[in-house]
Amino acid sequence: MNKITTIEDVKALIAAGVEENTTIEYKSGINIADAKWKGEMAKDVSAMANANGGVIIYGVKEFDEKDKRHIPSQITPLDTTKISKETIAQVISSNISPKIKGLEINCLVVDVSKPNEVVYIITIPQSSTAHQNLKTKQYHKRYSTTVDSMEDYEIRDIMNRNVHPDITLDFELRQITKQELYWIQPTYNPLYGSPLPAHPQIVQRAILVLNCIPRNIGTVVAEHVHYFVKLPENIVAIGQEFDIAEVKDGFVTMRRENLYCDILEGSTPTNIKYGLPRIVPILPGMTGVHKGIIIHPNANLNQDVEISWCLNADGASVKSGKIKLKDIPRK
């Protein structure tokens, strides 16, 4: 989800009825005086770090009805004279081990005429190690709208974030200018005899491409990355630089690796020579080699269909995901 930086962002979540999920949680208030409540805060924050990261919003009440209890209903401001940003930070740091790197606490004023009435936003990054709740000596993880104790294998999986690379796949639609080579055959003229030989001509045209971008969100360098992308066949143009793995039931599956071929010295626009493929490692925080999938010029990009993907990287667990075609951002 997008980062929450203003009170308008909070109001937009309420207006849209954005339900709690793995990466967002609403809390109507804070009771720091209650030792049990401190343990609950430590559990909620560590659970989100142990899962996918996300945000906890303090100062937003959910509906009371059972079928709507995970949907925000209204802002219930907190008083900075009773609970400060520094106090929240101290409770979190003293009750979670190890401390969560990159955690942010922001204070959003609800009404400028009442500067003490605020909503607190705690932004929690996905961690590269498992965090323990020191109040209970347990490890917790967020699953959708609930928080549960972790199994041993889940703790090991999180610890492996420091052993194996953590790669995800981003998508964007981008219009680019593509150069294409055509051979032009002169028209035969009986006055001059045989026509001249065909000559090359470079033509530029605008095309739309779907970029599939591997991104290293972990702390380990990725050497080998291999992924598959499955999308509707009717939106794909002919002539792709991806390897087609399968065409079935109206969908085409394409595969890609983090390989790159250098253009060799002596190449010309009409005669491009490539070297042997070489692996391009993906450093932490960086993106890898990506080639765009050319989109058919008549494709309907507002289709309510999903693009699915799966990815392998250096012994890490297989990752997969889905995104709706209409939700892919245009650049």
What is the rounded average pLDDT of the residues 129-148? 93
Q: Which of 102-116, 238-252, 266-280 has the highest mean pLDDT?
A: 102-116
Residues forming CATH 2.60.40 domain(s) in the chain: 167-178+208-327
**Confidence class of residue 96 from pLDDT cuts 50, 70 and 90?**
very high
pLDDT for the residue numbered 181: 63
Q: Which of 116-130, 206-220, 232-246 shows the lowest mean pLDDT across its residues?
A: 232-246
> Higher confidence at residue 19 or residue 267?
19
What is the rounded average pLDDT of the residues 241-261? 86
> CATH fold of 7-162, please?
3.30.950
Check if CATH label 2.60.120 holds for domain 167-178+208-327.
Answer: no
Q: Which of 2-6, 115-119, 161-165, 317-321 shows the lowest mean pLDDT across its residues?
A: 161-165
**Confidence class of residue 292 from pLDDT cuts 50, 70 and 90?**
confident
Residues forming CATH 3.30.950.30 domain(s) in the chain: 7-162
Please state, rounded to an integer, the average pLDDT across all residues of the chain.
Answer: 88
pLDDT for the residue numbered 190: 59
pLDDT for the residue numbered 159: 80
Q: Which of 135-149, 192-206, 257-271 shows the lowest mean pLDDT across its residues?
A: 192-206
Instruction: Summarize pLDDT for 23-64 with one digit per residue, the tens.
Output: 999 999 988 778 788 999 999 999 999 998 999 999 999 999
Instruction: Summarize pLDDT for 312-328 with one digit per residue, the tens.
Output: 998 888 888 889 888 89
**Confidence class of residue 110 from pLDDT cuts 50, 70 and 90?**
very high
- Whether the pLDDT of residue 1 is over 60: the answer is no
Separation of alpha carbons 302 and 33, rounded Å: 51
Instruction: Summarize pLDDT for 65-83 with one digit per residue, the tens.
Output: 988 989 999 999 999 999 9
